[in-house]
Amino acid sequence: MRTGSLIALFSLLAISPPLAMDAAAGGAAHAYLGVGLADAPAGAPGPAAMVGQLDPKGPAAKAGLRRGDLIQAVNGQRVESGAALQSYVFSQPPGAVLVFDVMRHGPGGYAQTKVTATLGSPAGSNPPPSPGGVSKPGVPPPPAAKSNAPTVKWDAPVPSNIRYVRWIDPAEKGFTTQVPAGWRVGGRLMRYGPLSIAPFVQAMTPDGTIFVQIGDWRIKDYSDLPGWTPGQVYRPGTSIFIIRRYQSAEQYAQSYSQTFEKQLGCGNASFTGSEAMPVAGQATVPQSKLETHQVSFACTRGGQRYVGKVMDTVQAYRVPGSVSWDILYLACFLAREDRAATGAAVWDKMRTSAAFDPAWLASQSQVAGAATRPAMQSLDATLRQSQAFDQNVINGTITVNDPTTGARSDINIGAQPFYFSDGLGHFYNSYDPTPRSGFHSVNPVQ
**Fold observed for domain 1-13+153-356:** Protein Transport Mog1p; Chain A (3.40.1000)
Tell me, what's the pLDDT at 265?
86
Residue 128, sorted as left (phi over 0), alpha (psi -120 to 50) or beta, turns out to be beta
Tell me, what's the pLDDT at 195?
64
Please give the full DSSP string across 394-423, using - where no structure is assigned: HHTEEEEE-TTT--EEEEE--SSSEEEE-S
The predicted model gives 197-215 an average pLDDT of: 89
Question: Contact, 49 vs 68, CB < 8 A?
Answer: no
Tell me, what's the pLDDT at 153?
67
Question: Contact, 164 vs 203, CB < 8 A?
Answer: no
Of 176-180, 267-271, 275-279, 390-394, the poorest mean pLDDT is in 390-394
Does 31-120 carry CATH code 3.20.20.70?
no
The predicted model gives 183-194 an average pLDDT of: 81
| Domain locations in the chain as residue ranges | 1-13+153-356, 31-120, 357-385, 396-444
pLDDT at 297 over 60: yes
pLDDT by residue (tens digit) across 298-337? 999 989 999 999 999 999 988 767 888 988 889 999 999 9
Tell me, what's the pLDDT at 381?
54
Tell me, what's the pLDDT at 238?
58
pLDDT at 270 over 70: yes
Q: Flag whether the pTM goes above 0.75.
A: no
Please give the distance of CA 377 from its chain centroid, rounded to a whole number.
Answer: 31
pLDDT by residue (tens digit) across 286-296? 778 899 999 99
Is the model more confident about 211 or about 32? 211
Q: Are strands 210-214 and 322-336 parallel, antiparallel or unpaired?
A: antiparallel
